[in-house]
A and B are shown apart, each in its own frame.
Chain A
Amino acid sequence: MSLSVARPLVSVYSEKSEVVAGAALPLPFVFKAPIRPDLVNDVHVSMSKNARQPYCVSKEAGHQTSAESWGTGRAVARIPRVRGGGTHRSGQGAFGNMCRGGRMFAPTKPWRRWHRRVNLRQRRAAAAAAVAAAGVPALVQARGHIIEKVPEFPLVVADKVQEINKTKQAVIFLRRIKAWSDVLKVYKSQRLRAGKGKMRNRRRVQRRGPLIIYHKDQGLTRAFRNIPGVETLNVDKLNLLKLAPGGHVGRFIIWTQSAFERLDALFGSWKTPSKEKKNFNLPQPKMANTDLTKLLKSEEIRKVLRAPNKRVVRATRKLNPLTNSRAMLRLNPYAAVLKREAVLGQRRTRNARALALAEKRGIKLPEDDTAVKAEKLREKRTKAIKVAASKKPKKPVAKKTAPPPPKKKASKEKKPAAKK
């Protein structure tokens, strides 16, 4: 799809489906045209309206009565009713779309706008897109054609095919080229139409088979005429309704060599305008390089992007600090101290109370009672502290002398020292 494409060589196959050596054609530029399924669909919808025949109801249908409303006061609805008497019809409602035998709502008129005109540029662009899509085997398969065993894509056949004039030979040719399985699929799909079309001369339906595009008809059309599903088309008169049946791109196309060579002249390239179509150049693609995945991984783009943020933020559970002590500690480390103090204070008061109570009541507490133990421990500790304090060598007290001449640095050092 880029403007500077490498043009691969497409080999030509003889009608016996052997490669004709030396005859390899470069791929015409049409096959690199942008594939626009939306455009093709729109143009197809409009174009298929052009073969319609008008239909309408009769002009006087429902009005061929002289009916008059009875007005009010007669205990009947005010719809116009048929005059006269002596028949079932008299007194029946007429003229309304709700009445039996009345005219329909909005009777269809023959001057409805049946046909649509499509802009020339759009038509040409759609044709180019359809031809381009027919060169992509994936799209042809997606449309439903069986091309598993076809030797090459796009399929180009020698000009001898244009001279086939017997259907038997045509069938043999299709078999050799491995396009016959597509025709078999057509056979299997032949069925009766659902609905009233059966009685309106549209009884049978079948799917589409391969399309053969030729340059000069020397019996080709007549040979392939009777094979169900197979259609033929002249290169100079490419029909979108045949290139993209149903508005879906990707019909299986078999080209003859001269037809294939003609495509370059018909559609031209981006640099050279078309020779046959006046003022026509292949439509410009929106993206020159359509390989999005490759683009996104390319160096030029990666260089400009910032580094990826691989940090994964996972949702954490919020723990209530009032109930969860760890959460509390995370927020306020001093809380541990407070708590501890509270616990210890509580214990002290409890023990003191127990001792006081025992003394007051004159009960001797047992030795292993917690209050007694705690008291003993306390006494032991205070003693030990005193002993340790007395044993420690006393530091000589620093005499306060006159401070040295103040230097800025020295003063700074002294100040924190003094503070200590």
Chain B
Amino acid sequence: MQHDDVVWAIINKTHCSHKVSTKTQQFCRNEYNLTGLCSRASCPLANSKYATIREENGIIYLYMRTAERIMFPNKQWEKVKLSRNFEKAIHQINENLLYWPAFIKAKCKQRFVKITQYLIRMRKLKLRRVKELVPIQRKIERRERRREEKALVAARIDNAIEKQLLDRLKKGTYNDIYNFPQMAFDAALKAEEISDESESEKSDEEEKEMELEPELEKELQRNVEEVDEFVEADSDMESDADSESGHKEGVDVGSDFESETSDIEDISVKAPSKKKARVEIEYETEPVASISRKKIKN
């Protein structure tokens, strides 16, 4: 008691670490404060005889403090658990604060009412399962967006997709049935050339230069062979075509009929599948129906 006025004079004039000052009001952030405002009658530091209502985990307690216990901070607060019944609790408050100043009594009851109200509200909300609002943190969102863009660029997805598709093609999962756009085909061929040239360069380094010519011969031979094959196929086709030219019926259609392919496509399928394909000369011919079907059969 002796110190209260002195303490208030000091706290009010100089520094109190719990005081929050706004344009119109002063608040007190002390957790034992009864009203939340910084004023002479409600400052827990400047009143040695003080009482508050606080709740912990949904249980409401009445805290009381008297001037005798001020010097023992450990034991200064006397804690009284209030009944769950509202009216009984009010009676308890009245009983415990019987000869206390009217301000503290009134404010304790007000605070008790407020606390019970918000506890009820909390319980109701929990039952309703309201969606939790999470604020958007602008700085973080901006940062993450930029990083996503960069990661997208760095991943080079187009290349990966291309590689995957080519691998699958090479493996044969598409069963030689695929429409190639012209540009992509040329690009792929060029890529093959370059890779082959690099391979050949490597092989050149290994072998002697003398063997260039035989290689060239080999190339030519290969070309010739392919041409020969080509020619042979034609001759076969011609013989077949001759044999069947008389009959209009009996065109056996293979299972691959529905997937229409042309001569070009057949050739194109073969070309990339041969890993050592050299430069091939492609002849685009208009597909002759009977011949094409025969080819399918084979």
Q: Which A residues are within 8 Å of any B CB, using their own CB?
A: 1-2, 8, 35, 37, 41, 133, 136-139, 141-144, 147-153, 178, 248-249, 289-294
B209 shortest CB reach to chain A, Å: 66
Q: Are B5 and A153 in contact (CB under 8 A)?
A: no
Separation of A217 and B2 alpha carbons in the complex (Å): 36
- Given contacts A37-B10, A292-B5, A138 and B17 within 8 Å (CB-CB): no
- For the residues of B in contact with A, the DSSP-based class is loop
Give A294 to B5 CA distance when docked, in angstroms.
Answer: 10
Residues of A within 8 A of B295 (CB): none
A150, B15: Cβ atoms closer than 8 Å: no
B31 to chain A, nearest CB (A): 9
Name the distance in Å between A62's Cβ and chain B's nearest Cβ.
42
Contact present for B73 and A153 (CB under 8 Å)? yes
- Residue of A142, A148, A153, A249 contacting most chain B CB atoms (<10 Å): A142
A133 to B14, CA, bound (A): 13
Please tell me if the beta carbons of A289 and B2 are within 8 angstroms of each other in the complex.
Answer: yes
What is the predominant secondary structure among interface residues of chain A facing chain B?
Answer: loop
Contact A8 B6 (CB under 8 A): no
The 5 closest A-B pairs by CB, nearest first: A144-B17, A138-B45, A142-B16, A138-B7, A292-B5
Q: Does B71 contact A (CB under 8 A)?
A: yes
Interface string of B33-55 (1 = CB under 8 A from A): 00000000000011000000000
Q: A248-B15, A293-B5 are in contact. Are A137 and B71 (CB under 8 A)?
A: yes
> Least Cβ distance of B220 to chain A in Å?
76
Given contacts A1-B2, A1-B6, A294-B1, contact A137 B73 (CB under 8 A): yes
Q: Are A149's CB and B10's CB within 8 A?
A: no
8 Å CB contact of A37 from B3, B4, B5, B13: B13
Complex contact B73–A290 (CB within 8 A):
no
**Residue contact B1 to A149, C-beta cutoff 8 Å:** no
- Contact in complex: A291, B73 (CB < 8 Å): no
What A residues does B45 contact at CB under 8 A?
Answer: 138-139, 141-142
Q: List chain B residues, Cβ under 8 A from A141.
A: 17-18, 45
| Size band of the interface chain B makes with A | 20 to 34
CB-based contact A142/B1 at 8 Å: no
Q: In the complex, what residue of chain A is closest to B17 when comparing beta carbons? A: A144
Residue pair B73, A142 in contact (C-beta under 8 Å): no
Chain B residues with CB under 8 Å of A139's CB are 7, 10-11, 45
Determine if B5 and A151 form an interchain contact, defined as CB atoms under 8 angstroms apart: no
Q: Is the CB of B10 within 8 A of A249?
A: yes
- Complex interface residues of chain B between 36 and 81 (CB less than 8 A to chain A): 45-46, 70-74
**Nearest CB in chain B to that of A293: its residue:** B5
How far apart sit A153 and B71, CA to CA, in the bound complex (Å)?
5
Q: How far is the CA of A148 from the CA of B6 in the complex (A)?
A: 21
Q: Are A142 and B5 in contact (CB under 8 A)?
A: no
B4 CB contacts on chain A under 8 angstroms: 291, 293
Closest to A136 in B: B3
- Nearest CB in chain B: distance from A29 CB, A: 15
Query: How far is it, in angstroms, between the C-alpha of A293 and the C-alpha of B3 when the chains are bound?
Result: 11
Q: Report how far A380 CA is from B74 CA in the complex, Å.
A: 101
Query: Chain A's nearest CB lies how many Å from the CB of B101?
Result: 11
Q: Can you give 15 contacting A-B residue pairs, CB < 8 Å?
A: A2-B2, A136-B3, A137-B71, A138-B3, A138-B70, A139-B7, A142-B11, A144-B17, A148-B73, A149-B73, A150-B73, A153-B71, A153-B72, A290-B6, A291-B4
Give the complex CA separation of A293 and B103 in angstroms.
16
Closest B residue to A149 by beta carbon equals B74
Residues of A within 8 A of B15 (CB): 142-143, 248
In the assembled complex, the Cα of A235 lies from the Cα of B24 at a distance in Å of: 45
In angstroms, Cα B11 to Cα A35, docked, is 12
Q: Which chain A residues lie closer than 8 Å to B16 at the CB level? A: 142
Closest to B30 in A: A141
Structural contact, B72 and A151, CB atoms closer than 8 A = yes
Assuming A35-B6, A151-B73, A178-B74, what are 6 further A-B pairs, CB within 8 angstroms?
A8-B71, A138-B11, A138-B70, A139-B10, A152-B74, A293-B4
Say whether, besides A141-B45, A143-B17, A294-B1, A151 and B74 are in contact (CB < 8 Å): yes
Given contacts A152-B71, A153-B72, contact A138 B46 (CB under 8 A): yes
Q: Give every chain B residue within 8 A of A249 (Cβ-Cβ).
A: 10
Chain A hits for B7, CB < 8 A: 136, 138-139, 142
CA–CA, A178 and B72, complex, Å: 12
Q: Closest residue of chain B to A40, judged by CB? A: B14
Cβ contact within 8 Å between B14 and A248: yes
Q: A142 vs B5: C-alpha distance in the bound complex, in angstroms?
A: 14
Residues of B within 8 A of A137 (CB): 70-71, 73
Q: What's the Cα separation between A101 and B145 when bound, in Å?
A: 47
Chain A residues, CB < 8 A from B11: 138-139, 142
**For the complex, what is the distance from the CA of A65 to the CA of B164, rounded to whole Å?**
74
Residues in chain A near residue B13, CB distance under 8 A = 37
